[in-house]
Structure 1
Amino acid sequence: MKVKAGRARPEQLDALRSQLATLQKNAEQKPPSPDRAAPTTPTPEKTAAERPKGEAYAEKQAELSTEANELRKEQAKLSNLLHKVSPHVDCYELTSRIYELQVQIEGLWDEKKYIERNGLDTGGTFRDRPEKVVPAKSLDDVQHKAVLTVELQRLREKRSKVTRKLENPKSAESKRAEWSIELAQTNARIEELTAQRYVL
């Protein structure tokens, strides 16, 4: 085209044709293979401890998961009870039980991971854990104590209101007598619930 248009000379055209032929020849050939093949990292074979252990392994893992889930449910129930207790009331038993459950759950998950990494040992135990000396309180006891704590708080607030009413000099004598009876009943109930709570 450039020759017909008068833009290229025939001697330039010959050099361009030979360059085009060289490029076409190189394109038809296969690309050169790289000098070095990419290093392949050998996949390490799993040791006997890393391989799944069959039924015993699956049963142990399922047992640990089930136990952890049950403890997590119990912990959730206790945590929900905390919402019923005033922030100003000390509920050591409830929070300590929640913490104990958290420690047990973490221990179960540690055991699960240990078995996944190291395999199930012949005894099926996890690092010879020492037996707990202090028996944990049952969920019912902890719930009952939490309910008693909430009830005691309500009664103390009621006692405070009735006491303020009695201190009012403008209140009628008939109302004062009624409030005195209510105050005595409230005090008796507080003493009764405090004794019950102390036993738990």
Structure 2
Amino acid sequence: MPSVFVQGRPVDAYPRHAPEAGNGTVRRVTEVGEEVLHKSSRECTEFGPDLAALIDDMFVTMYVAEGAGLAANQVGVDLALFVYDCPDDDGVRHVGHIVNPVLDEQGPAGRVLLDETEGCLSVPGAAMRVPRPDRAVVRGFDKDGAPLVIEGTGYFARCLAHETDHVDGRVYLDRLSGRERRRALRQVEDNREEVLARRAARQAQLT
């Protein structure tokens, strides 16, 4: 089985970081409570160099923040789009972007929920258990407007569901009970400064 899939297609070899990151500029990651994170993102209708440049910026920002995925509203841009570089539970690496993503609805029949720990670059320093289906299918387009279908299992399925939530204006805290949400926000209070300092140091190394 191939060890890397790019845009849903197997490749023989791939660098440590997506090549797009080499063209990008690091942007500030928005944090929970900022309006852009809590509303549905605007559908992307223009495909071209501006969109490609945003994707470049999102890749390098994701790597600096040590994330597995990043949505456009996490860099303050109100567009339906996310990038990812994420392994699945079999160790296969998945890299790519998807514009105007829509997550396939799954009925309860045959659906398996995995209750595992989840974090978010926009909720710095917190990690909580969130139930997610063990399989996800996301449909959308690539940066040139060509139709795209991305499928994932395990941890990569979690990533696809998490990032599609962002596009729909939800953060994973919205899936927690009030008590668990407060616990997560206390984790942010305790750990945020350390996380942001680590990102700043990593940015100095990568750029």
Classify the TM-score, shorter chain.
Answer: under 0.3
Larger proportion of strand: 2
TM-score, with normalisation over the residues of structure 2? 0.21
TM-score, with normalisation over the residues of structure 1? 0.21
Larger proportion of helix: 1
Question: Considering only CA atoms, is the larger Rg found in Structure 1 or Structure 2?
Answer: 1
